[in-house]
Amino acid sequence: MSHQDTSDSKTEPQRILWVGCGGLGKAASPVLFAQGHQVTAAQRSAVDLPSDMAQLTVDVTQLESLSPLALGNWDIVIITLTAPPGASSYQAIYVDGLKNVLSVIQSRGRQPLVLFASSTSVYAHNDGCWVDELSHTQPTGYSGLTMLAAEAILAAANLPSCAIRFSGIYGPQRHNHLLQVLEQGRICPVRPEKYSNRIHVDDCVAVLVHLIDRYARGEPLESVYLASDGHPAPLREVMEWLAEDRGIALPGLIDDYRPTRGGNKRCRATRLCNEGFTPLFANFRHGFAS
């Protein structure tokens, strides 16, 4: 079953609040509108979104700015926050900001489904092993620690909710860090082998739609999902393919690129797979070539 099949069963239109509605929200809006959902975007500053999408200007770090969120009778709240690098900014946005949003949307006793974009940084594995939703999480870096703390806050909020652990998101209109490194004349070494886990932005949208559809049909949802294309590849292989695809000569590259973030693991989206979800872009080759 492809992810396009998940919307075959007609579901009731949902009133959706999207907090942190940036690139992913923009990519998702045509799909959600086509299904008849009403979507309101809430972010720090106005962004270029479809004219029929209502927009609210809020700052999740400023509780008083969030009062407009309490006025809507939301069925679903999608939270896709972004923070600059650094432990303090991650804490302010992903932990304190999430607390603020949850407190406001619960202030009138409502119980919307909350879909929160988490990260595979919650896994500390560094030996290339496979991980899924049942793998242990013992992160040591601030990113994983913060995201795990945010997941705990969500789980304790007494709301129907899912934390979605996205691997590296890529696709059109998104910054391609690996290509930038290649253009600088650098590439990662062959050894030690380091795996790269990815999910195309269109598949991120499809994951959210899949969960919304299940919820609208009254089907059960897990509290945590891992979202990745299920075909991790050695980072060297990814970078070599990108270089050849973009006409960058491999012999002239210096193999000194050694990313320290992300650990070294292979991600498997077991729960989504069990629910019949299959990514449109099965691996990085399909996704980058699209």
Closest CA to 261 of 207, 201, 191, 188: 188
In the numeric block, which tokens belong to residue 141? 């870096």
Look at residue 10 in the predicted model and tell me its pLDDT: 60
> What percent of the chain clears pLDDT 70, i.e. is strictly above it?
96
DSSP state of 186: B
Closest CA to 19 of 130, 104, 120, 143: 104
pLDDT in tens, 105-114: 998 888 999 9
What interhelical angle do 23-34 and 201-216 show, nearest 10? 50
pLDDT in tens, 138-178: 898 999 999 999 999 999 998 999 999 999 999 887 878 99
Judged against a pLDDT cut of 70, whether residue 3 lies above it is answered with no
How much of the chain is in helix, strand and coil states, percent to nearest 5?
35, 20, 45
In the numeric block, which tokens belong to residue 149? 């703390």
- With respect to CATH, is domain 3-175+198-232+264-284 assigned 3.40.50.10540? no
Judged against a pLDDT cut of 60, whether residue 34 lies above it is answered with yes
Class of residue 86 by CB neighbours under 10 A (exposed 0-12, middle 13-18, buried 19+) = exposed
CA torsion, points 210, 215, 219, 221, in degrees to nearest 10?
A: 80
Q: What is the pTM of this model?
A: 0.92
DSSP state of 68: G
Look at residue 7 in the predicted model and tell me its pLDDT: 43
Q: Are 44 and 59 in contact (CB under 8 A)?
A: yes
Helix (H) or strand (E) holding 63: none
pLDDT in tens, 40-65: 999 888 667 777 788 899 999 999 99
Closest CA to 168 of 204, 136, 125, 138: 204
Gap between the Cα atoms of 286 and 290, Å rounded:
6
How confident is the prediction for the chain on average, in pLDDT?
91
Gap between the Cα atoms of 74 and 70, Å rounded:
9
pLDDT in tens, 204-218: 999 999 999 999 999
In degrees and rounded to multiples of 5, residue 128 shows phi and psi of 80, 10
